[in-house]
Amino acid sequence: MPERATYAGAKSFMLTFTETVAAESISGLRFQVVLPGMVATEYAGGYSPTIAMSPEDVVRASFAGLERGELVCVPGLDQPSLLSDLEETRHAILGAGNRRELSARYSKGTTMTSHVARENGLPPDYPAGSALDRWCVVRIADARKKY
Protein backbone atom coordinates (compact mmCIF):
# COMPACT_ATOMS: atom_id res chain seq x y z
CA MET A 1 0.00 0.00 0.00
CA PRO A 2 2.14 2.90 -1.16
CA GLU A 3 1.64 6.18 0.68
CA ARG A 4 -0.75 4.61 3.16
CA ALA A 5 1.54 3.64 6.03
CA THR A 6 -0.77 5.06 8.70
CA TYR A 7 -3.82 3.39 7.18
CA ALA A 8 -2.08 0.01 6.83
CA GLY A 9 -0.65 0.26 10.34
CA ALA A 10 -4.04 1.13 11.81
CA LYS A 11 -5.64 -1.78 9.97
CA SER A 12 -3.02 -4.18 11.35
CA PHE A 13 -3.54 -2.74 14.83
CA MET A 14 -7.30 -3.23 14.60
CA LEU A 15 -6.83 -6.89 13.63
CA THR A 16 -4.44 -7.62 16.51
CA PHE A 17 -6.40 -5.51 19.02
CA THR A 18 -9.70 -7.20 18.16
CA GLU A 19 -8.16 -10.68 18.37
CA THR A 20 -6.61 -9.86 21.76
CA VAL A 21 -9.72 -8.22 23.24
CA ALA A 22 -11.86 -11.15 22.07
CA ALA A 23 -9.46 -13.64 23.67
CA GLU A 24 -9.47 -11.72 26.96
CA SER A 25 -13.20 -10.95 27.10
CA ILE A 26 -15.88 -12.55 29.17
CA SER A 27 -18.11 -15.07 27.46
CA GLY A 28 -21.22 -13.86 25.72
CA LEU A 29 -19.61 -10.87 24.06
CA ARG A 30 -18.99 -10.99 20.33
CA PHE A 31 -16.27 -9.11 18.50
CA GLN A 32 -15.49 -8.67 14.85
CA VAL A 33 -12.97 -6.80 12.77
CA VAL A 34 -13.92 -6.13 9.16
CA LEU A 35 -11.04 -5.97 6.69
CA PRO A 36 -12.49 -5.11 3.31
CA GLY A 37 -10.44 -4.43 0.25
CA MET A 38 -11.24 -1.29 -1.67
CA VAL A 39 -14.71 0.05 -0.94
CA ALA A 40 -16.58 2.44 -3.23
CA THR A 41 -16.57 5.45 -0.90
CA GLU A 42 -15.33 9.02 -1.06
CA TYR A 43 -12.32 7.98 1.06
CA ALA A 44 -11.26 5.54 -1.67
CA GLY A 45 -11.35 8.32 -4.25
CA GLY A 46 -14.83 7.53 -5.49
CA TYR A 47 -13.93 4.21 -7.10
CA SER A 48 -16.86 2.75 -8.93
CA PRO A 49 -18.49 -0.53 -7.87
CA THR A 50 -16.93 -2.16 -10.94
CA ILE A 51 -13.52 -1.80 -9.22
CA ALA A 52 -14.45 -1.61 -5.53
CA MET A 53 -16.97 -3.38 -3.31
CA SER A 54 -20.10 -1.46 -2.41
CA PRO A 55 -20.44 -0.32 1.21
CA GLU A 56 -23.73 -2.22 1.38
CA ASP A 57 -21.97 -5.48 0.50
CA VAL A 58 -19.34 -4.85 3.18
CA VAL A 59 -22.09 -4.40 5.78
CA ARG A 60 -23.95 -7.47 4.48
CA ALA A 61 -20.77 -9.56 4.81
CA SER A 62 -20.13 -8.23 8.30
CA PHE A 63 -23.59 -9.22 9.54
CA ALA A 64 -23.32 -12.64 7.90
CA GLY A 65 -19.91 -13.10 9.50
CA LEU A 66 -21.28 -12.14 12.92
CA GLU A 67 -24.05 -14.72 12.52
CA ARG A 68 -21.38 -17.33 11.72
CA GLY A 69 -19.30 -16.28 14.72
CA GLU A 70 -16.40 -15.01 12.60
CA LEU A 71 -13.94 -12.84 14.47
CA VAL A 72 -12.29 -11.64 11.25
CA CYS A 73 -14.44 -10.72 8.27
CA VAL A 74 -12.79 -10.23 4.89
CA PRO A 75 -15.77 -9.63 2.59
CA GLY A 76 -14.05 -10.49 -0.68
CA LEU A 77 -12.17 -13.57 0.54
CA ASP A 78 -13.41 -16.83 -0.99
CA GLN A 79 -10.96 -19.04 0.94
CA PRO A 80 -11.53 -18.48 4.68
CA SER A 81 -8.94 -21.20 5.40
CA LEU A 82 -6.30 -18.59 4.49
CA LEU A 83 -7.23 -16.69 7.67
CA SER A 84 -6.62 -19.73 9.87
CA ASP A 85 -3.37 -20.42 7.99
CA LEU A 86 -2.27 -16.84 8.67
CA GLU A 87 -3.12 -17.14 12.37
CA GLU A 88 -1.27 -20.45 12.69
CA THR A 89 1.79 -18.98 10.95
CA ARG A 90 1.80 -15.87 13.15
CA HIS A 91 1.57 -18.00 16.30
CA ALA A 92 4.33 -20.33 15.07
CA ILE A 93 6.66 -17.41 14.32
CA LEU A 94 6.02 -15.64 17.60
CA GLY A 95 6.23 -18.88 19.58
CA ALA A 96 9.49 -19.96 17.96
CA GLY A 97 11.01 -16.52 18.45
CA ASN A 98 10.05 -16.29 22.12
CA ARG A 99 13.16 -17.78 23.69
CA ARG A 100 16.12 -16.69 25.76
CA GLU A 101 18.84 -17.61 23.27
CA LEU A 102 19.81 -15.49 20.30
CA SER A 103 19.05 -17.10 16.95
CA ALA A 104 22.09 -18.73 15.35
CA ARG A 105 21.79 -16.44 12.35
CA TYR A 106 22.51 -13.43 14.64
CA SER A 107 25.15 -15.09 16.80
CA LYS A 108 28.82 -14.12 16.92
CA GLY A 109 30.78 -15.97 14.30
CA THR A 110 28.10 -15.83 11.65
CA THR A 111 28.92 -13.74 8.60
CA MET A 112 27.20 -10.57 7.56
CA THR A 113 25.02 -10.53 4.51
CA SER A 114 27.03 -9.31 1.55
CA HIS A 115 25.01 -6.12 1.04
CA VAL A 116 25.46 -5.03 4.68
CA ALA A 117 29.18 -5.75 4.47
CA ARG A 118 29.49 -3.95 1.14
CA GLU A 119 27.59 -0.88 2.43
CA ASN A 120 30.06 -0.61 5.28
CA GLY A 121 33.24 -1.24 3.31
CA LEU A 122 33.79 -4.71 4.78
CA PRO A 123 34.57 -8.01 3.04
CA PRO A 124 31.44 -10.16 2.49
CA ASP A 125 32.66 -12.87 4.91
CA TYR A 126 33.38 -10.42 7.76
CA PRO A 127 32.23 -11.97 11.10
CA ALA A 128 29.02 -10.33 12.25
CA GLY A 129 29.92 -10.12 15.94
CA SER A 130 33.16 -8.25 15.37
CA ALA A 131 31.58 -5.89 12.86
CA LEU A 132 28.87 -4.63 15.20
CA ASP A 133 30.88 -1.74 16.65
CA ARG A 134 32.12 -0.66 13.21
CA TRP A 135 28.59 -0.85 11.81
CA CYS A 136 27.25 1.35 14.62
CA VAL A 137 30.07 3.87 14.17
CA VAL A 138 29.46 4.02 10.41
CA ARG A 139 25.72 4.56 10.92
CA ILE A 140 26.34 7.31 13.49
CA ALA A 141 28.84 8.99 11.15
CA ASP A 142 26.33 8.80 8.28
CA ALA A 143 23.64 10.37 10.46
CA ARG A 144 25.96 13.19 11.52
CA LYS A 145 26.77 13.99 7.88
CA LYS A 146 23.06 14.39 7.13
CA TYR A 147 22.50 16.83 9.98
pLDDT attached to residue 75: 96
Dihedral angle sign, alpha carbons of residues 136, 138, 142, 147? positive
Separation between Cα atoms, residue 60 and residue 42, nearest integer Å? 19
Phi, psi of 127 (to 5 degrees): -65, 130
pLDDT attached to residue 137: 47
Dihedral angle sign, alpha carbons of residues 128, 133, 139, 142? negative
pLDDT attached to residue 112: 56
pLDDT attached to residue 4: 78
Separation between Cα atoms, residue 132 and residue 108, nearest integer Å? 10
pLDDT attached to residue 7: 84
Candidates 76, 82, 87; CA nearest to 22 is 87
The segments of the chain whose pLDDT lies below 50 read 1, 133, 137, 147
